[in-house]
Structure 1
Amino acid sequence: MPFTTQRKVRFQHCDPAGIVFYPRYYEMLNSVVEDYFAERVGHDFNRLHVEARTGVPTAHIETDFHAPSRLGDTLTFELTLRDVGRTSLTLRTVAHCSGEPRLTCDSTLVYVDLESGRPLPWPEAMRTYFAKDCQQG
């Protein structure tokens, strides 16, 4: 089942024409991932980054922009797990507004040690959760 959340397009997201400036979508996408980890996985970014000194940087990202989003739009983001590896997680995130597709993003996150920057195997509890979430997606 996809993780679903919404974001309102604010002035800060827009260029002078009043449409979302594409780098701002990446900030929104990252906030969706952060919410997924906090709300579904039970490991908010404070726990990951500050307490465990681990992180989930993006190693690959590919995005198709289907239509512009405008100031005041409410975007619905649906994040689905596509695959879980030993140290990585592959996601697809789709954003739409009133049923109209706005973007599709495929990305790969890697679980890393923040001190060394080296990949780490997922903790068993997280890996088990991801595997279950992949089967439901």
Structure 2
Amino acid sequence: MNQSSEYVVAHLPFTVRRTVRWMDCDPAGVAFTGRFTEYLISAVMHFYRHIGWGPGADSEVKVGLPCKHIALTFHVSLPPDTAVDITLRVGALRERSFDLVAHAYLPDGQLAFEGVFSPICIEPLERKSVPIPHALKQALQPHHVCD
């Protein structure tokens, strides 16, 4: 069977289901720590596509969204074939950056890991920070939770 290891399962809250692959695991048989970062960034890329921003977006306003800050906290180890639902919500909205707050849950509701991905808006050619464009703020608003 050719089953995808991740896909979007909900748009509000935005949720990506990720299944741990055998190749994601270390010799102890659990997901290697570095894969959690990949899981988070991949969910963020799905979110960007959902709101119409980020790499390859066909937006009138050209703005880059590189990562300024990332943080992860692990709560359980993840063996192969474990599915986690990674929910993303918009946290703090600042002048030039914002937070995407992630919570990854196992099917039984247990929190597997949580994290924050904080992109900063930049002008792509000069690589200088710029204020968050109004259109991007509007796209983020349905996913915003109280700060």
The separation in 2 between residues aligned to 1:94 and 1:75, in whole angstroms, is 10
Question: Could you say which residue in structure 2 is the equivalent of 1:15?
Answer: 26
The separation in 2 between residues aligned to 1:105 and 1:44, in whole angstroms, is 19
SS of aligned partner of 1:4: strand
CA contact (8 A) 1:61 1:107 kept: yes
Moved segments of 4+, more than 4 Å: none
The separation in 1 between residues aligned to 2:117 and 2:87, in whole angstroms, is 13
Using structure 1 for the length normalisation, give the TM-score: 0.85
Cα RMSD after superposing both structures? 2.2
- Offset at residue 132 of structure 1 (A): 4.0
Structure with the largest fraction of helix: 1
CA contact (8 A) 2:90 2:143 kept: yes
CA contact (8 A) 2:49 2:57 kept: no
Using structure 2 for the length normalisation, give the TM-score: 0.80
1:45 to 43, 47, 55: 55
- Offset at residue 17 of structure 1 (A): 1.5
SS of aligned partner of 1:72: coil
- Offset at residue 43 of structure 1 (A): 2.4
Among all aligned residue pairs of Structure 1 and Structure 2, give the percentage whose two residues are the same amino acid.
Answer: 24
SS of aligned partner of 1:55: coil
Equivalent runs, 1:36-115 vs 2, <5 Å: 36-39=47-50, 41-47=51-57, 52=62, 54-98=63-107, 99-115=109-125
CA contact (8 A) 1:58 1:109 kept: yes
